[in-house]
Structure 1
């Protein structure tokens, strides 16, 4: 087993085994026996169109889904793989061409501009011609990292080659001649530019170390997909800054490897994940790229994103621009459906330009929540509700470190911080909350909990407060009288809902082990008890309930997945509930309500 790639059987067998796995998933694509070649099985059907030109490509493995992932109707007829980062051997390439030639009017072989590939594919093409096959070869290069290509091997083939394969593949499927396809290759290749950047190198299966490393805090600009060094190092930047740096490089008019761009030009854009970028990073970069291009005066007609031509586990990405100005038919060819599993298929509206920044106007139904109930409270009680919150938000700072400590060992260690974040948002909203309308107030607090706290805690407090709002609305109607019982009922209903939606029960070592005792205390409160007395009993019961969690085994929430945990500590969520109720009870007592 590879020390650097733990989830394979061996470095020697991984290419063949991944091809078998790939064809097991994509059953319309079959592997040729004894060759690292996959073909579109539709090409061998009785009704296959023998008049169409077949497109073939390939290269070293480690770039998946390239090339096998682009086999399918409207793209490749066959693809050939070499060992990791090594050109396929000539006999395998001959097999790929021969398989495609059997049911076609000719074969167009597209080869990315790397010396080994050009030599091996070129030799295979000549062998196939000698056997009477009609074969042509096009060398694709779209790399724009180098500003000068004299005394170099020329522009390397990068992910921009995928634009070419999709366009000529769709043309071939539509009956275009070999001459027409070669012309399209020249046009597309001459109007495509790509630049890459990476924060780390890639590690070949069987190797202990990456092919190259990047110093922490720096990025390699213009690196190759086989670990070749880039044109220069740049310091780490924000997504916005990095995208603009890369676009500056692509639009450098002094560079002979760039495609000339002018304001108003129409572009198709591809952002290629080199292997280890997260989806959050990639779509952030997509948004910044689209925004920057629009600000520069370009018309972005299509955006593609994904792991399209990777470099094993490299942490980096490409930006590829295809200038479509004057060639509207290319958009139709890019949009032509294909069943090739690797080609990205965005869910698009029927428009010719992309406006990522456009947002739909939406009216939140909770904006009208005040219509749920006309119940209002006195000015004195409204002032008291504000006082409750003012004192509560100040107190949370005193609990934060203790709650965080209680949350370590069996949680994220952030319970206190999460409570404090919610309190901070409440503090900044104190002047806008509807204290005179408790139904609306509870819903406002629920929204704050869900948005400011986030995560499980935010969701649970949001449910608690939302149900309190709904229950109070249904209990009091339009009443303006003494409705203490309704307030107690709304708390009881809310606690039951936390259990219902969260799935925890009494004794599971969660916040419910403080909430349920408080709920029980509220139920026992006599009609003659004042609100301060009810809150005092609820607070005491919650504190006792939280204390009891020290001997409980976690059976719900994240703590239930932690082996052992820290059973010597009180549950942080339950202790937070006790703190909150204690603050409310103390405030009520000092106000004699």
Structure 2
């Protein structure tokens, strides 16, 4: 849980966040006194396009769930949203003023609210006051969360979470299409009844302005995840230590398993058309949310034979900066409003609201290929053979030992690079090592030294990126050229002297692309000693030890090149250069493998 915020006054935070919205969407206005964002009447601007009269949609709740719901105000979605303080319902008076003074009422008003006691009571009171004033009004309560089952939910029922935004979008499009209040309300209820959601989080969140208390046993431990955690830090159904695949498997089972009588609120079969929403609770990076989304899609297909007709992934309903995500599944049903107003048509309909991020048009979805599986890798390229022969079994064994040693060293390399760089060196080396090991397992034997090296090059070029990947790829390609230059007219074994000459020529080629030399605190501090010691002694053991000594010598060495030059902080004096250390570990492992 992070207690650091740029805005620590919760009142100022909510007010300024609301004030930002008219800057982002000129079609909305802010009633700050009542913390209400509302759709400007088309008559308020002489240049505005007149809008057809329609049912007005009002929603809202506690702040802290942005972009829900203030950023969903706009043509095609909500007419107004009323905000409370952080995680607290707005008052009935705020809501009443919104209904009576901020939205059009000629065709009626529909209020959509999540199933939380404060929201239901305050919005309900405002609805009754508006009805008593003569407003044609209805209210739909959304409870889509299956994280808490029937037994624990009791009379309160299911909480409302991210699936609510699908209900609002469908209802908003129905209203914009001219449906009556009765039709819009019925469509909203139908969508709500056919939506199930569940969330999971790695941590509770901190509310700005609140004193940070010792969480004690209430805080999640390292690696622990809470399944079913609510969007206000409410407890879920269980805590467990699980990797993402197991976590997603549990979450989907809670939504879909018909044998779970406590949580099976909706039956979805492979014949049903389904919409999937993977929602960021606020603190998950876009990169990680992509990985989560792919895991959900693959498990839906493999375990449940469900292939969603629409997939939304992004930040729709947060819990401040919650380090978690939720999964929502909507089973599409017939709205009874005609084919042009089906649930899918309503979901696809345009909406001019900053919080609704569904950029893919209906026509694009319909053109989607039947299979979205990655294309198969092309066969490995075969280079022209050479007459340099090697013992394939020995080469494979020695390289395997070297790569395994490098993989084992990855935590240290990553730690060193976290201190002096951006922390990716060890991960990049490990990725290349693991990919090369897989290649060795799958490739057919060859006694051609150049062909063996070319296979390694192809892996490195694909699997390794960043600076290290480029350096290794350039060096190995130059090494391949050096070997070819020394290929004899008739077959003969490749020996340390041939390797040394090829390595020296590849080192010279590498110098065309980087000015790094020994003493600059780079992997050159290990590579140079290895190459030249091998040339002098013909001993791989001596060369590997020289590389190790060179890498150790970078401790306390001030960098002249690379990211370390401008990365601040302390501690770099006590660690070796990560790239040099990684290369030395690889070369020491190679020597160990050759001695077996």
Q: Report TM bin, short chain.
A: 0.7 to 0.9
Q: Is the 8 A contact 1:203 1:210 kept in 2?
A: no
Cα drift, residue 514 of structure 1: 5.0
Kept after mapping to 1: 8 A contact 2:334/2:343: no
Per-residue Cα deviation, 1:350-378 (whole angstroms, up to 9, x for no partner) = 446999974143454xx4643xx53x322
Q: Determine the structure 1 residue equivalent to 2:160.
A: 157
Q: Which moved more, 1:61-70 or 1:48-57?
A: 48-57
C-alpha displacement of 1:132:
5.8
Output aligned runs, 1:484-499, within 5 Å: 487=502, 491-492=506-507, 494-496=509-511, 499=514
Contact 2:406 2:586 in 1 (8 A): no
Helix, strand or coil at the partner of 1:57: strand
Looking at structure 1, the residues matched to 35 and 311 of structure 2 have their Cα atoms a distance apart, in angstroms, of: 32
Larger deviation, residues 314-323 vs 536-545:
536-545
Q: Pick closer, same or farther for the CA change 1:108–1:505 going to 2, 3 Å.
A: farther
Map of 1:322 onto structure 2: 330
Task: Name the CA distance, whole Å, in 2 between partners of 1:550 and 1:228.
Answer: 49
After the TM superposition, which of the residue ranges 483-492 and 305-314 deviates more from structure 2? 483-492
Conserved? CA contact 1:29–1:40, under 8 Å: yes
For the 8 Å contact 1:49–1:104, the answer to whether it is kept is: no
- Preserved CA contact (<8 Å) 2:39 2:103: no
Preserved contact between residue 404 and residue 415 of structure 1 (Cα < 8 Å): no
May I ask how many residue pairs the two structures share in their alignment? 568
Q: String of CA shifts for 1:419-461, please: whole Å, max 9, x gaps.
A: 68856765671864655262x5444222444566776534432
Structure 2 distance, partners of 1:243, 1:458, is 33
1:377 matched to 2:386? The reply is yes
2:278 corresponds to: 271
Q: Measured at CA, do residues 338 and 536 of structure 1 come closer, stay the same or move farther in structure 2, by a change above 3 Å?
A: same
Whole-Å separation in 2 of the counterparts to 1:556 and 1:97: 64
In 2, Cα distance between the equivalents of 1:151 and 1:584?
A: 64
Q: Which stretch shows the higher mean deviation, 253-262 or 307-316?
A: 253-262
Equivalent residue in structure 1 for 2:117, among 102, 111, 115: 115
Q: Structure 1 regions of 5+ residues with no counterpart? A: none
- Cα distance change, pair 452–532 in 1 and its aligned pair in 2 (3 A): farther
Q: Which residue of 1 aligns with 2:523?
A: 511
- Secondary structure of 2:182 counterpart: helix
CA distance in 1, matches of 2:202, 2:456: 42
TM-score, normalization by structure 2: 0.76
* 1:337 pairs with 2:350: yes
The match for 2:234 is 228
Change (3 A) 1:287 1:403: closer
Q: Which residue of 2 aligns with 1:308?
A: 316
Q: Please state if 1:464 is matched with 2:467.
A: no
- Superposition deviation, residue 166 in structure 1: 0.6
2:293 to 286, 292, 295: 286
> What RMSD in Å do the two structures reach over aligned CA positions?
4.9
The one-character-per-residue Cα deviations of 1:305-361 (angstroms, maximum 9, x if unpaired) are 233222224444333222114457111111122232222326578446999974143
Aligned to 1:246: 251
The 1:354–1:293 alpha-carbon spacing in structure 2 relative to 1, beyond 3 Å, is farther
Distance 2:235 2:542 in 1: 70
58 and 467 in structure 1: CA distance in 2 versus 1, 3 angstrom threshold: farther
Q: Which residue of 2 aligns with 1:359?
A: 373
CA separation in 2, counterparts of 1:191 and 1:401? 49
Shift of 1:82: 0.6
Distance 1:80 1:470 in 2: 69
Given that 1:39 and 1:71 are in contact with CA atoms closer than 8 Å, whether structure 2 keeps it comes out as yes
Structure 2: runs of 5+ lacking an equivalent: none
